[in-house]
Amino acid sequence: MASRSLTALLLSIVGLSPCLSATAPRNLVLITIDTLRADYLSCNGSTVVATPHLDRLAREGTNFARARSPVPLTLPAHASIFTGNYPPTHGVRDNGTYRLPEQQLSLAEVLHERGYRTAAFLGSFVLDRRFGLAQGFDLYDDRVWDDVDDLEKLEAERTAEEVAAAFTRWLAEDDGAVPFFAWVHLYDPHAPYEPPEPFRSRYLRDPYAGEVAYADSVVGTILAELATRDRLSQTVIAVAGDHGEGLGEHGEMTHSLLIYNSTLHVPMMIWAPDLVAANRDIGDLVRLIDLAPTLLDYLGIEEPFGEGVSLRPLIDGGGEAGPEPTLLTAYSESYYPELALGWSPLRGLESGGYRLILAPTPVLFHVGEDPGERNSRVEAEPGVYQRLKRQLADDLRSFEAQSESATSAPLDAAAQERLRSLGYLAGAGGTSARQGPPVDPNQSIDLWNRIQRGIAELGGGDFRAAIRTFESVLDEDPEIPLVYEYLGTCWEKLTAGTEAEKVYRRALERGIESPRLHHEIGRNLLERGDKKQAERELQIALAMDPQSVVVHYDLGNLYRAAGRLPLAAEHYRAALEINPSYLWAWNGLGMTLAAMQKNEDALAAFQRVVEIDPEGAKGYFNLAVQLERAGQDQAALVAFQRFLELSADQGLEEQRRYAAEAVQRLGD
C-alpha cells in the first residue's frame, strides 16, 4: 500500500480510472495554510513533524522548495496570491485596516467569468469579506463570525475541521454540470498553538508542529472527500502557505515585523493527475505571485494576470512562454513596523543566490551558503550590495507607477475587538511625530517581544501585568502608537475610562495622531456627559477615517441623546451604508425614527434588527413596542412573548415587567 500513488489510492475508493480527457474542464481547489513554514513539512526535510498528505501531494505533483511570500501578514499575502501582484501594486499593506480595491483583478473573478462555480471557506476573521477578497466568489463563507452579541462571544477563527466541514457541505451540492473553484483557508497553525488530540499529546514539546500535523490531517480529509464524490481526478489541487513563523529565529517568535526567510519561505505545490508533472522538486526561486498565473495556464485560460509569471515552462521542463523562471527576483516588505510602531519599514529583494534587506542598517546574505541569514555580506561584497540596492530602487519606482490606493476597511467595534484578540491592531491613518534617526526593527526585536508579552497578558485578562509591561516599553520608546492603544485598552478593562483617556491624551501630546485615539477620547467624554467636546473629538476621528462604522454610530448616539434627531439618523444611515449588517446602528436608527414619529420606517428598522440577530432579546422588545404603537396587536404579542423567552437571565427586569403586562393586556 505504501508504494501506491495518491491518485491510485484515492480513486480506487470510488472505482475511477485516473485517466481524464485532456479537453475536460478541470476543477480547482486552492488550499492556503496560514503561518506554515516550508521546513516543517517532511517532504521538505523536516524530522520534527510528519505531514503524509502534503508529502503525497508533493511527491505526486510538483513541489517548489524555494517559494517566497512577499509579506509576513495574512491579508496582504492572500491579496498577492489572488491578484498575482505585490503589495505595493495591489495596495494592501497590513491586516485589518486595508481593503483590496475593486479594480484589482482576482483569480476568482477570472474563473467566475469563465463559468466556474466559485466558493471560499475561511478560517480567520482576518480574511473577512469586508477586506475585499470576496470579489469573484459566488459563496464567501465567513459565517462563523455572524455572532452579534456585542463582543461577548468573539470567534476570531475556526478550526481546520470546521472549515473542511463547510467545504464538504458545499461540495455535496455540486452536480458536476460546470467546473468549480474552491478556496479552503486553514488558519491553523497560527498562534496560539493549541492542536487538538491526538496531535496535542504527540507533539507536547512542539505544539506548533502539532498544529502543522493537524492541518495536514485535514488536507487528507479534503482529498478523501473529493475522491468519494468522484471529483479528485477532475481537479487541480494547489497548496500554499501565506507566510511562515519566526519560532525564535532572529529573535522573532511569531511573524509580521521582520522579513527574513523564516517568515517568507513558504511551501507551495501543485497536483493534478496526467496534467502537472509528478515527482518534481524545483529548487528555483519562485513567488506566491506566480501561483495564480500558473494555475490559469494549466486550466487552459489565457489571461494576462498580475506581476507574476506562469511556472509551467519550469514544471514541464522548459519552453518558450514567459521569462525564464530561473531569472526571477522576489520582492518582500513589511510596513507593519511603520504603521503600528512608528519604526522604519522593511523592504527586501532576493535575486540569484543573494538576499538584500533594506533597513536603517541594511543586510545582505548569500542564502545558498547561509540559509539561516546570519552573516551579513554588505562589507564583504559591496558590488553585490550596490547592484541589488539599485535593482530594488528600480522595482520600487515601478511599483509606484502602477500602485493602487487601497481603501480603508469598514470596521465596527466587534471587528476591532476580533482583530485585537488575534494580536492585530494598527492605527491606520495615524501619524507619528518621531524625531531622530529611524528605528531599525531588526535591532529592536527585544522591545517588540516585550510588546507581544503585554498583548498576551492583556488577552489572558492580567490587565495590571499588561499595564506594567506596556509602561516599561514606553519608558524605553515613548513614540510607539500601538502601545498607547493597547495600554488604553487595559485601563478601559479596569476603570470607567478616566485613566484610559489620560493614556490617549499622552499620545496626542507627543504628536501621535490616530482615529482611534480621538474616538476613544470622544467616547469617554460622551460617557461623562460632555457632549460638546465629545462631538469635537468624534468629528476629528471621522475626518481621519470616514469609513469608521463605529464613529458614525457613536455620533448617532450623541445626536440622538442631544435631541438632534435628523443628524442622528444621518450618521446611523452612514454606518449602515458602510456595513449593512451592523445591528446596533439599525437599533439606533429605529429609536431615532420612532422619536421622529416616522413609525413605518422605525418598524422596518426594528424588523431588520431581529432578522440579523434572531436570538437577541432586546431587538424583540423594541420591535414589540413599535408593533403595538402601529396597532398590530397580534404581532406585538408574539414579539413580547419571544422577548420574555430570550431575556430570562439578562437582568432586564423593567422591560420584562412591561412585556409581561403587555402580554396580559394584548392576550385578553
User: Does 38 have pLDDT greater than 90?
Assistant: yes
Can you read off the three cell numbers belonging to residue 599? Answer: 413609525
**Among candidate residues 34, 469, 35, the one with its CA nearest the CA of residue 247:** 35
DSSP E strand boundaries for 177-321: 180-186, 235-241, 265-271, 280-282, 286-287
Neighbours of 414 (CB within 10 A): 24
Question: What percentage of residues in the chain have a pLDDT greater than 90?
Answer: 72
pLDDT at 418: 64
Burial of 24 per CB tally in 10 Å (0-12, 13-18, 19+)? exposed
- Cα–chain center distance at 45: 29
Q: Are 27-316 and 413-610 in the same CATH fold?
A: no
Which of left, alpha, beta for 201 (phi over 0: left; psi -120 to 50: alpha)? alpha
Three-state DSSP state, 123: coil
Which residues, other chains included, contact 110 with Cβ-Cβ below 8 Å and sequence gap of 6+? 136, 296, 301, 303, 305
Express each pLDDT in 432-476 by its tens digit.
Answer: 667 788 999 999 999 999 998 998 898 889 999 999 999 999 999
pLDDT at 322: 45
- The residue behind cell 436608527 is 589
**Among candidate residues 119, 106, 132, the one with its CA nearest the CA of residue 27:** 119
Give the mean model confidence (pLDDT) for residues 224-250. 95
Tell me the pLDDT of the chain averaged across its residues: 88
CATH code of 413-610, in short, is: 1.25.40.10
Radius of gyration from C-alpha coordinates of the chain = 27
pLDDT at 207: 97
SS (H, E, C) 525-578: HHHCCCHHHHHHHHHHHHHHCCCCHHHHHHHHHHHHHCCCHHHHHHHHHHHHHH
- Residue spans of the domains in the chain: they are 27-316, 413-610, 615-668
Instruction: Report the topology of domain 27-316.
Output: Alkaline Phosphatase, subunit A (3.40.720)
DSSP 388-420: HHHHHHHHHHHHHHH---PEEP---HHHHHHHH
User: Does 21 have pLDDT greater than 50?
Assistant: no
Express each pLDDT in 250-261 by its tens digit.
Answer: 999 999 999 999
Instruction: Say how far apart CA 139 and CA 178 lie, in whole Å.
Output: 15
Instruction: Say how far apart CA 197 and CA 203 lie, in whole Å.
Output: 10
Give the mean model confidence (pLDDT) for residues 365-394. 96
